[in-house]
Amino acid sequence: MPIKKKNIIDAGHMNKQVSLQTKAVVGDGAGGIDPVWTDWLTVWASVDDSGGVIYGAVNTHTETIHNLKFIIRYNELIYGKPISQMRIVYLDRAYKLRNIRNINQSNYYLEIVCDGNEWESV
């Protein structure tokens, strides 16, 4: 999604609701532990699922990496949390986070990049 002027994104593009979940560890009752995902924040986002890169050499196995990008308003709680402890839920699919970027280091918007090939149904 293009940023029109410095740090301004048309709010009409942020028209998809997504939920960020955090991972907690709970006892399973048998002495072990299980990870449990719980809803943490629900925000409006712009979603771009058009990105992809093909890796491989000629006449060998190729792999397509499909990036799914979410643009949301800046939230310091999200930006300061380890990405391994979060995932994003969109259209009943939970995606593992690959990267969170503070666009232009402006504290206005965050770009969250997920692997579109790796998801779980929720």
Among 3-7, 105-109, 117-121, name the one with the lowest average pLDDT. Answer: 3-7
User: Phi/psi at 59 (nearest 5 deg)?
Assistant: 60, 25
Lookup: tokens for 33: 């532990």
Q: Which two tokens stand for residue 41?
A: 């924040």
In this prediction, residue 88 carries a pLDDT of 95
The whole-model pTM stands at 0.78
Domains located in the chain, CATH noted: 13-121 (2.40.10.270)
Residue 110 pLDDT exceeds 90: yes
Segment (H or E) for 57 = none
Locus of tokens 């593009």: 13
What are the pLDDT digits (tens) for 19-67? 999 998 888 788 888 889 999 999 999 999 876 655 555 556 666 677 8
| Region of residue 59 (left: phi > 0; alpha: psi -120 to 50; beta: else) | left
Distance CA 94, CA 20 (A): 9
Three-point CA angle 96, 102, 104, nearest 5°: 140
Q: Check residue 29 and give its pLDDT.
A: 80
In this prediction, residue 52 carries a pLDDT of: 62
Residue 109's pLDDT band, with cuts at 50, 70 and 90, is: very high
